[in-house]
Amino acid sequence: MPGLYQGRNFVSIHDYTVEDMQRIFDLCKILKLEEQTNQRKPILKDKNLGMIFEKSSTRTRVSFEIGMNQMGGKALFLSSKDIQLGRGETIADTAKVLSRYLDGLMARVFSHDTILQLAENATCPVINGLSDFLHPCQAVADFFTMYEKRGFLKGLHLTYIGDSNNVSNSLMMAAAKTGVNITISSPSGYTPNEKIMKWWKEDAPLTGASLNIVPNPVKAVEKADFIYTDVWASMGQEEETEKRRKIFSAYQVNDALLDKAPDEALVLHCLPAHRGDEITDSIMDGPKAAVFDEAENRLHAQKAIMALLMS
C-alpha cells in the first residue's frame, strides 16, 4: 500500500475517492500498530520532506517531522521568513526549485491559493498542512479517531459547533467520502460557504451521507456520536476575537450542552483550544474528551499520507 499514490498531491479530500479514504485509514491503523509494537519500517528511507510554514504550529510541525524520522526520512523546516516565498521569488518558482531538492513538500499557509500554486508548479507531491480554506490532514486524523472509537464510520453522526472554517470544511468533505452524517451548528453568517456546499452535493451521493444546518446547538447535539468544536477566531482573525466571542457565546461546548447529547457522545477538538471560550476545562479534561487521542493520531495520519505519496 505505501507508494500507492506516488506523486499525487494531498490538497483536498474532495480530490480523493471513497476507496482512497478507506486505504488511508487502513494504513493509519497499520502504521500506528507498528509504532506501538516496535515494528517500525523505514519506508521513507533517504526521502526528504520540505515543510513551509507561514503560520506557527505545534501538532503539524512535530507530527510531520517525527513522522518522517520514524519512517527513515528527514524533514526540513522552512519558515516563510527564511525563504523567498512570494517575496523575492514567485510561489511558482519556489515550487519548481524546491522540487529539484525534495521528495515531498508540505505547506501550512494563510491563503489556499498558495497551496494551489505550489501544487500546480511542483514536480514532487504537495501536502496541504493547512490553509484558510481547508485542513485535510486534520480531518484524516479526526475520522481515524472516530473509526478507532466506534469501529466503523458509515452511519455515525458528527456534530460540529462553531465557526464554519477550514476545519469544518474538511470535516464535511471527509463525512461525504465516508458516509458519516454531519450537522453544522453555526450562527447566521458563519455557515458553510458556497464552494463547500457545491462539493458536498457532488460527493455525498457517493455514500449517502446527510448534512443538516442547525443553528440551535442544543438541537444539533441530540443524536451526536461525536461533538466537534474549534476556536472562534482562527489565526489571522485575532482582531475579531471580541466580536466573535459575543456572537459565539451560545455555542460553547460545556457540561450543560453535553447533558443534551447521547450518553456515549465523545468530544473532539483540533487544538489548540481556547479554554473558557469554545470549550470548558470540565469537558477538555473530562472522560468524554477524545482530544488528546485525536492529537496523537495526527502523527499516524501524517505518516500514512506521506507513505502513500512519497514512498
Which is nearest to 148 in space by CA: 301, 308, 6? 301
- C-alpha to C-alpha distance for 92 and 107, rounded to whole angstroms: 14
Which is nearest to 121 in space by CA: 85, 82, 156, 92? 92
C-alpha cell, 57:
504550529
Coil, helix or strand at residue 32: helix
- C-alpha to C-alpha distance for 141 and 266, rounded to whole angstroms: 15
Instruction: Indicate which residues carry an active-site annotation.
Output: 108, 135, 138, 230, 270, 298
Cα 286 to Cα 160, 257, 264, 289, distances in angstroms = 19, 14, 13, 6
How many other CB atoms are there within 10 angstroms of residue 37's CB atom? 8
For residues 184 and 157, the answer to whether their CB atoms sit within 8 Å is: no
